Structure formats: structure tokens, C-alpha cells
């Protein structure tokens, strides 16, 4: 497609297929956004100008939510989409995962968790829009950044640059995907939900590393995308040279200061990170709800029109889809909807209230340019007014330490540090980002023993019956090949498996001092990553690993050698392939140096010795984790599963846990390995502990710019203990659970855990913005007619069974550890019990009809409540 530039205020550009049609329009309506030179570019029912997307002729302020279809299961999709819509979301955004859809060249798969069409239609049925980020490179902490591993081995291919083989396969996949969407009439130009498509992903970070080839590739990708004739605009995130009419967008924790490279393009935030990902062995990052809300409010305050949470539901990296390396199987992301599909309170609730208030300002925001007013050194207001009388104001305090009282239109407003107050009528505060008024849910993982299946003839036995299969340490069956020196792990396995055996031998004379003195030799290994187990004469001697920051590692370990020939077998493992970076596909793994010290003759360097290689595990080769091999004679029954045994497969047939709560496997007593249920890949498990000496927080200060190391928990604890098992994978009975354990654990301690909301807390002050979010209409708000109200709600089919804490006065502490202050209404608990007990939900208005409002006259009163649900 020929790329056009802006010409005149009296012309609107509409792109239909490859034809440019010039349509003369009156500029009077565009003057409402303060533009003397406005260009609208788009196709069909979706157009845009510098202020917003325009869908079917209407300006739209859009809240979007990332939900990646393969990170959940089809049975969860309707509930996730419904919960997002209930949270005030208009748009569902997803990547398209190339390596899941084209596992081998020309063989396409769009079924199961990868049924993109079904996912899109669920969104459409919910009455929501979609942003389809085709990429096809995605990063996303997904294995190999979403690109298929086979593509790396197509001769002449270099990823993400002006490489003809790469461009050929990229265009072929993108065209296939676009045509599939067209065939199902899913683009907005066809009446479908897809309003934006994305080409490439975050290429601006790395384009310069590819030189002129990178620039040519970026332009080619844009032109190729436009030639697909989707009928909707294309976007490129973090692409600082995106050519017209492609819209460049922002990815960051904060995008209020972002400006598109062209003044004719709207301000779009494709990734607002409400949390962060985790890597095995690292701490657990959390982003406070107050700061997420602050970032969103600031973005719309400064002219933003489309904002997307990455992630709104993170989900699970099932199987071997996690990248990184070292990305955990959980991709919870501290998102508003947790990994299991439950709303995360208070984050989900706080953002829901924010969305409602921002939406009430939509007309004023999208039809005007703001008037910026200084309210202090780090305080400012942006005021949007139009000829119809609509007025909305955002008052911001960017001071990350001090609250401030500011004067706006002759009225005083208190602004907590690092907060934004939104005034939909330019008078009354409807929302402040730092004041969280919704409940906090108390969520527990309730343990449940594995029960023998109901169909078992030994149903009455107390202990579960296990079967086992033992792997051979080193080469099993026939060796794949022998070679002097080391081969790269990834180039050898081509990611068909995590596992590659490197095996050699060393001869030890009986007169060596370490044998005569009953000592040990020392083995020294260096590796490009990611993890390794060392076996000497079939016995596990040591394990070592890199981490999510530095996958390379080196280590030394004593090894027990005997007189004569000794076998050294190194089991090298990947933990997800590299996700991003310039030329990332060339980053390898596996050992680079092996030496043995302690001999009279000095250090023995085995690096260049003859090494025998075996790809994968015998159990993988036999496919014993698949359902059709479950009765194979290779399984050996046992009355008690062997404990602390490396390289062991375990099988048990179990009942489904009762109820309908989300389910996880508790693997705290296991080492490292993989798990399956009924042939479905749960994923890698590794309850690797973080260092207890690292710095963690018990309470996070939301004030100030967030970074992933700011608010972390879990020091000295496993990064991931529980592993999500979707309910839809279970049968009522006869469920086959298979575990492969690498280093040794206690399978008798494996438990199911059900994720349950067991209670709720609320903490509200009398100066909280008092408005009814659910009934907010337009911008007409009268605060004096409403009182701050604390609302508590238990899960469906449960009620508030007891009141654990209640105090009106000046209570302090946080949920789970509230304490009375020196000001307390003694009738607090009885009032809360009267209103809330045996109810699924209740509302506690802070008014004189409920509480003694004259109590402690000089104190700003607060209400803190904690209840149990059952």
C-alpha cells in the first residue's frame, strides 16, 4: 500500500483495501478537538484521528484487557471474558502464538487451547471488541518469543531482520491467520470484534542492533501488514519509526508522557503492566492497586484514548510453553484476574471503580483539548470542557512523599501523595487513585489428599496405589551419536525435549591419593545454561543451575570415583528458550567445559574428550505420559512410592476433587520435573526457593514509580509451590496423574489444593469519595447525598459466617492483622453482625444511623472489618 501523509484539514482519509479514497468533509465537528489540521485514517467502520479511534462514527475511549487464549483453557474463556466485562473492560487483547499454531512447516493447528476463532467468537458474543496482536513475534515470556524453533534451522534465516527466508515464513503465517479471521468475518470491517491488528512487537528496542537490515525489515513488515487488507488500522508497539498510517503505541509501567510520532495518530497504551512475571528461584513481585490506578488516570488525564492491561488475566504456561529462560509455569502476573480465574481484590475492584468514573468523562475527554493548570510545584490539573457544558477535571499530585491541599476553582481539595482525583463535573471528587474503597479478598489454598479412583477395586484402601518407572542415568537404548567435544544443547534437541544426556568416562588408577585416603576428586563444570544434574556411575552427585537473570553457570562438586573405569553422565536441561533480544535465536545452552581435579598428574580436562549423546528421556520416547500408554507393562506397581529417587516416573489413578473451586497440585515436597493429568501437560514444576537473605516487604508503599524489585515477597520460600490443573481436564473418576521427578522427592506428600475465598476485609475512611459507582450517570454527582459505604461480598453459594474484626474509629493495620486504635465505637461488631451475618453480601454506610459519628471529633474516622465466608 502506498503510504500517504496528512494534507488538509478539510480532508479525511479512508483506506479501503489498496485504494485511497479522498472524501471532503466539513471541519466544524473536528474543531471540537482543537484541531485546525485533522486527518482521519482507517477503513470500514474503524477510523482514527489524533484524539481517538472512531468506531461506526463514534469516538471511543477504550479500556482493554490482555487475556491470552492458550494460557487458559476453552472452558475458562467465557468466565474470564465475562469477568473482564464486569470489571469495566471494553476490549480483549491477545497475541497470536505462531509456534503453537504452526508446530512444523505448513502444518497448522487451531484447536484446543489454540482455538483462536472460538476465543474471538466468545469475545464477540460478550459484546466486546478485540485487539489482535498477530506479531508474529510476541516475546511475552513465551517459549522462543512465540517463533517456531524449526524456523531457526531453515537455511539462511536470521530472525527479525531483512532475511528473505524469515520474511517468507512470517508473511505466510500472517496471511494464513488474517485469512482465517476474514473467513470467519471477525474483523470490524466485516461486522466482527477485531478493531485493531498489530504487526511485529517491541522491535524498536532492538532495531538499531540489526543496522540497515533492521530498518528495511521494519518498513517491509508495515507494508506487508497493510497489504493484508484487514479493514482495520494496524499498530506497532514501541516502534519509533512506524510509517503512516500505522499507529505507534507505548508499552511501560507509565505512558502518560508518551506521544505518537505523528500528530495525526491517537495515543494508545498497548501494555500497562499491572504486575510482573516470575522466574524460578526469584522473589514474587506485586504492583499495588493504587499505583496501577494512578498510571491509568494519568494516561487519560494526558490525552490517552486506548489503554490495555498486560496482563488482565495472566494464566498458566502449560506444558513447555514458558520461555525466559526460567519463567515459572504460573503466569499470574499479579493481574486483576488471578491465574485460576478469580477476581483479585482489591485490584480488580479498585480498577472497576476507576473505569466507571473515567467512562463517565468520555464525551468531555474525547471532544476537547485540555486546559493545563499548575496547582503547585508537583501538582497540576487538566480540565476538559466543551460547548455542551460537559466538564471533567483531573487533579494530580506527583509528589511521591507528601500529601497536598490544592485550590481548584476556589475550592480546596486534599490530594494524597502520588495520586489523581477525578472530578467528572469539575466540582466533586468521584474517585481518588490512592483511596481504595473496595474489599480485599482472603484467598487460601485448601489441601486435599489424593484419593484412589472410585473405579479402583481397592477403593477402600487408605493409601493411594502408585506405579513407577525408573530412567537409566546416561545413555539408554542406542546412543544418538558420539563426538569429540560438546555440542550445543538447543541445536541438538531442537527443543523437542528439555533433556540431553552428555556421557563420557574416566579411568582412575588405584594408587591415586584420593582413593587411598578415602577422599574425593573434584568435578568442575561450566555451562551456557540452564540446569544440570551430575551422575557418577549412575548415582546422582550434584545439581547446578543458572537463573532468570544469568542462565550461565559454573560450579565445582566433590565426586565419588572408584578404581578403574568411571562413567560421568551430565543431564543438561533447558527451562524454556530465550524470549527476546537482538539475535536471541543464537543463544545456546549446555556444558562448555568439564574438568576433574585431584589426580597426581594434575587436572584432567574432559572438554575435548569423546562424549556420547542421547536426546531426551526413555519415558518420553515411550510416551508413557500419554493416555494410550497408561496400561503399559513398563509400569511397576508398588505399595509405597519410592522417596528421594532421581529419574523416576510416578503414576496414580485418582478421583476428581469435590466441588467446583479451582484446583492446583501442591508440589512442595518434590524436587524438579514435569506433571500430566489425563495426558494433558500441567507443565514444569520446581519449588525452587528464593534466598532468605534477599530483601522482601510485608507492606508495600504505593507512592513513587514502580519497578519489579520494589514490592516483592516470598524470601526464603518457593517461587512456585502450586500448579494449576484446570477443572475441565478432570473426569469424575479414573484420572491418571503422572509425575516425572528429576532429583528426588516424596510423592506420598503430593496434594491437590483448592483455591478458595475464605473471607473478606474492608477499610474505609469518612473522607473517601462518596458516590455510588454502579449508578454513576454522566457527570452529575452530588457527594452530600451519599455516604462512604463499605461493601463486603462472599463467593457465590457462601455467606458471611462470622465477623472476625470490626471497628469504627481509628483502627490500624492491614487485612488479617487489624488492631483497635485509641478511638473505637464499642457497638461496631454488633452492628456489623446485625447487617452482615448470614448474608452473601452487605453494605455498611458510614452514617449516624449506624455509627457514633460524633466519636473523637478531631479524628477522621475509619471503618475496618474482617469477615469469614463459608
131-141 pLDDT tens trace: 999 999 999 99
Question: One of 93, 141, 207, 271 is an active-site residue; which one?
Answer: 271
Query: Quick check: 253 and 705 in contact, CB under 8 A?
Result: yes
Give the long-range contacts of residues 553-556, CB within 8 A, separation 24 or more.
553/526, 553/527, 553/529, 554/524, 554/525, 554/526, 554/527, 554/593, 555/524, 555/525, 556/522, 556/523, 556/524, 556/525
> Hey, what domains does the chain have and what are their CATH numbers?
57-284+307-328+347-354 (3.20.20.80), 443-471+620-755 (2.60.120.260), 483-612 (2.60.120.260), 787-869 (2.60.120.740)
Residue 298, CA distances (Å) to 201, 491, 611 in order: 24, 47, 59
Q: How far from chain centre, in Å, is Cα 684?
A: 17
Backbone angles phi, psi at 307, to 5 degrees: -130, 130
Nearest to 659 by CA among 799, 753, 794: 753
Query: Quick check: 739 and 675 in contact, CB under 8 A?
Result: yes
- Other CB atoms within 10 Å distance of the CB of residue 278: 29
DSSP letter at 124 equals H
CA–CA gap between residue 145 and residue 149 (Å, rounded): 10
Q: What is the pLDDT of residue 15?
A: 36
Burial status of residue 71 (CB atoms within 10 A of its CB: 0-12, 13-18, 19 or more): buried
CA–CA gap between residue 704 and residue 402 (Å, rounded): 11
Query: Quick check: 267 and 325 in contact, CB under 8 A?
Result: no
Joined grid coordinates for residue 512: 591415586
To the nearest 10 degrees (0 to 180), the angle between helices 77-86 and 116-125 is 40
Give the long-range contacts of residues 4-7, CB within 8 A, separation 24 or more.
4/41, 4/244, 4/245, 5/244, 6/37, 6/39, 6/244, 6/262, 6/263, 6/264, 7/39
CA–CA gap between residue 859 and residue 807 (Å, rounded): 14
Burial status of residue 407 (CB atoms within 10 A of its CB: 0-12, 13-18, 19 or more): exposed
Question: One of 93, 102, 141, 202 is an active-site residue; which one?
Answer: 202
- Residues linked to residue 443 through DSSP beta bridges, in sequence order: 757
Q: Give the model confidence (pLDDT) of 58-68 as tens digits.
A: 999 999 999 99
Stated length of the chain: 870
Q: What is the largest CA-CA distance in the chain?
A: 98
Q: Which residues contact 702 (CB under 8 A, 6 or more apart)?
A: 288, 289, 290, 291, 294, 418, 434
- Other CB atoms within 10 Å distance of the CB of residue 498: 23
- Other CB atoms within 10 Å distance of the CB of residue 216: 14
Residue 196, CA distances (Å) to 41, 46, 129, 231, 260 in order: 13, 8, 9, 9, 16
**CA dihedral sign, ordered 473, 479, 485, 491:** negative
Q: Is 742 a catalytic residue?
A: no
* 3 state SS for 296-364: HHHHHHCCCCEEEEEEEECCECCCCCECECCECCECCCCCCECCCCCECCCHHHHHHHHHHHHHHCHHH
Give the long-range contacts of residues 369-375, CB within 8 A, separation 24 or more.
369/33, 369/34, 369/303, 370/301, 370/302, 370/303, 373/408, 375/406, 375/407, 375/408
Count of H-run helices and E-run strands, the chain: 13, 47
Q: Which residues contact 228 (CB under 8 A, 6 or more apart)?
A: 174, 175, 178, 197
Q: Which residue has the cell 479498585?
A: 350
Burial 694-709 (b: 16+ CB within 10 A, else e): eeeeeebebbeebebe
Q: Is 471 a catalytic residue?
A: no
Nearest to 314 by CA among 625, 66, 620, 146: 66
Joined grid coordinates for residue 867: 469477615
Q: What is the pLDDT of residue 321?
A: 98
**Which parts of the chain register pLDDT below 70?**
1-44, 454-462, 627-630, 771-785
CA–CA gap between residue 614 and residue 620 (Å, rounded): 12
Nearest to 596 by CA among 563, 562, 565, 561: 561
Q: What is the pLDDT of residue 775?
A: 54
CA–CA gap between residue 729 and residue 636 (Å, rounded): 25
Amino acid at each position: 500500500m502506498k503510504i500517504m501523509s496528512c494534507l488538509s484539514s478539510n480532508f479525511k482519509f479512508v483506506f479501503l483495501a489498496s485504494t485511497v479514497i479522498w472524501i471532503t468533509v466539513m471541519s466544524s465537528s473536528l474543531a471540537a478537538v482543537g484541531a485546525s489540521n485533522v486527518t482521519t485514517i482507517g477503513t470500514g467502520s474503524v477510523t482514527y484521528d489524533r484524539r481517538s479511534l472512531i468506531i461506526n462514527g463514534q469516538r471511543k475511549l477504550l479500556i482493554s484487557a490482555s487475556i491470552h487464549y492458550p494460557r487458559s483453557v476453552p472452558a475458562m474463556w467465557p468466565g474470564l471474558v465475562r469477568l473482564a466485562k464486569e470489571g469495566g473492560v471494553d476490549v480483549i487483547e491477545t497475541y497470536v502464538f505462531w509456534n503453537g499454531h504452526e508446530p512444523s512447516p505448513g502444518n497448522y493447528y487451531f484447536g484446543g487451547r489454540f482455538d483462536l476463532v472460538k476465543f474471538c467468537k466468545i469475545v464477540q458474543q460478550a459484546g466486546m471488541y478485540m485487539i489482535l496482536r498477530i506479531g508474529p513475534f510476541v516475546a511475552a515470556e513465551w517459549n522462543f518469543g512465540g517463533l517456531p524453533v524449526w524456523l531457526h534451522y531453515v537455511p539462511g534465516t536470521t530472525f527479525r531482520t531483512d532475511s528473505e527466508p524469515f520474511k517468507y515464513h512470517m508473511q505466510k503465517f500472517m496471511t494464513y491467520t488474517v485469512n482465517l479471521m476474514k473467513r470467519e468475518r471477525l474483523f470490524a470491517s466485516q461486522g466482527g470484534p477485531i478493531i485493531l491488528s498489530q504487526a511485529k512487537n517491541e522491535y524498536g528496542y532492538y532495531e538499531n542492533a540489526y543496522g540497515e537490515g533492521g530498518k528495511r525489515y521494519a518498513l517491509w513488515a508495515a507494508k506487508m501488514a497493510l497489504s493484508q487488507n484487514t479493514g482495520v488500522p494496524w499498530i506497532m508497539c514501541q516502534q519509533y519509526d512506524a510509517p503512516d498510517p500505522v499507529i505507534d503505541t507505548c508499552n511501560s509501567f507509565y505512558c502518560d508522557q508518551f506521544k505518537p510520532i505523528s500528530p495525526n495518530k491517537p495515543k494508545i497504551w498497548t501494555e500497562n503492566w499491572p504486575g510482573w512475571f516470575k522466574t524460578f528461584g526469584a522473589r514474587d513481585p506485586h504492583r499495588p492497586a493504587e499505583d496501577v490506578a494512578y498510571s491509568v488516570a494519568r494516561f487519560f488525564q494526558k490525552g490517552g484514548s486506548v489503554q490495555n492491561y498486560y496482563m488482565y488475566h495472566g494464566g498458566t504456561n502449560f506444558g513447555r510453553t514458558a520461555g525466559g529462560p526460567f519463567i515459572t509455569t504460573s503466569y499470574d502476573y499479579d493481574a486483576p484476574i488471578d491465574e485460576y480465574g478469580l477476581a483479585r481484590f482489591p485490584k480488580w475492584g479498585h480498577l472497576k471503580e476507576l473505569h466507571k468514573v473515567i467512562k463517565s468523562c468520555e464525551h468531555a475527554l474525547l471532544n476537547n483539548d485540555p486546559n493545563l493548570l499548575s496547582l503547585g510545584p508537583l501538582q497540576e490539573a487538566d480540565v476538559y470542557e466543551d460547548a455542551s457544558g460537559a466538564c471533567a477535571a483531573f487533579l494530580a499530585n506527583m509528589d511521591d512523599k507528601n500529601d497536598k491541599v490544592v485550590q481548584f476553582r476556589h475550592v480546596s481539595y486534599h490530594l494524597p501523595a502520588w495520586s489523581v482525583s477525578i472530578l467528572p463535573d469539575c466540582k466533586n471528587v468521584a474517585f481518588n487513585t490512592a483511596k481504595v474503597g473496595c474489599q480485599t479478598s482472603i484467598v487460601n489454598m485448601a489441601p486435599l489428599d489424593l484419593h484412589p479412583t472410585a473405579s479402583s477395586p481397592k477403593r477402600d484402601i487408605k493409601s493411594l496405589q502408585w506405579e513407577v518407572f525408573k530412567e537409566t542415568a546416561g545413555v539408554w537404548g542406542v546412543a544418538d551419536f558420539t563426538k569429540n567435544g560438546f555440542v550445543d544443547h538447543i541445536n541438538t534437541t531442537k527443543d523437542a525435549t528439555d533433556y540431553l544426556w552428555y556421557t563420557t568416562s574416566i579411568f582412575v588408577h588405584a594408587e591415586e591419593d584420593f582413593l587411598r585416603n578415602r577422599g574425593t576428586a573434584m568435578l568442575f563444570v561450566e555451562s551456557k545454561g540452564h540446569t544440570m544434574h551430575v551422575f557418577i556411575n549412575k548415582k546422582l552427585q550434584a545439581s547446578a543451575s543458572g537463573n532468570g537473570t544469568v542462565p550461565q553457570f559454573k560450579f565445582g562438586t566433590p565426586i565419588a570415583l572408584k578404581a578403574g573405569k568411571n562413567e560421568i553422565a551430565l543431564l543438561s536441561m533447558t527451562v524454556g528458550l530465550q524470549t527476546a533480544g537482538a539475535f536471541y535465536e543464537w543463544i545456546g545452552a549446555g556444558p562448555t567445559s568439564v574438568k576433574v581435579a585431584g589426580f597426581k598428574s594434575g587436572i584432567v580436562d574432559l572438554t575435548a574428550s569423546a562424549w556420547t549423546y542421547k536426546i531426551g528421556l526413555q519415558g518420553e520416547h515411550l510416551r508413557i505420559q500419554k493416555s494410550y500408554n497408561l496400561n503399559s507393562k513398563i509400569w511397576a506397581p508398588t505399595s509405597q512410592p519410592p522417596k528421594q529417587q532421581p529419574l523416576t516416573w510416578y503414576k496414580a489413578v485418582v478421583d476428581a476433587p469435590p466441588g467446583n473451586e479451582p484446583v492446583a497440585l501442591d508440589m512442595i515436597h518434590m524436587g524438579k520435573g514435569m506433571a500430566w493429568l489425563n495426558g494433558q501437560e500441567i507443565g514444569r514444576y520446581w519449588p525452587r526457593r528464593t534466598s532468605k537473605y534477599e530483601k522482601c516487604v510485608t507492606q508495600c508503599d504505593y507512592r513513587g514509580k514502580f519497578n519489579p524489585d520494589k514490592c516483592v515477597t516470598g524470601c526464603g520460600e518457593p517461587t512456585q509451590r502450586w500448579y494449576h490443573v484446570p477443572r475441565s481436564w478432570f473426569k469424575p473418576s479414573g484420572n491418571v496423574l503422572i509425575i516425572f521427578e528429576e532429583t528426588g522427592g516424596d510423592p506420598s506428600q503430593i496434594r491437590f489444593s483448592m483455591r478458595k475465598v475464605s473471607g473478606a476485609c474492608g477499610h474505609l475512611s469518612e473522607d473517601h469519595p462518596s458516590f455510588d459507582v454502579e449508578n454513576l450517570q454522566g457527570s452529575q454527582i452530588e457527594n452530600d447525598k451519599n455516604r462512604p459505604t463499605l461493601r463486603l461480598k462472599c463467593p457465590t453459594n457462601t455467606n458471611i459466617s462470622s465477623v472476625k474484626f470490626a471497628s469504627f474509629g481509628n483502627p490500624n493495620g492491614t487485612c488479617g492483622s487489624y488492631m483497635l486504635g485509641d478511638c473505637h465505637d464499642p457497638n461496631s461488631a454488633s452492628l456489623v453482625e446485625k447487617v452482615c451475618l448470614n448474608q452473601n453480601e452487605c453494605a455498611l454506610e458510614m452514617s449516624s444511623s449506624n455509627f457514633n459519628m460524633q466519636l473523637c471529633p478531631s479524628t477522621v474516622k475509619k471503618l475496618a472489618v474482617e469477615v469469614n465466608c463459608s
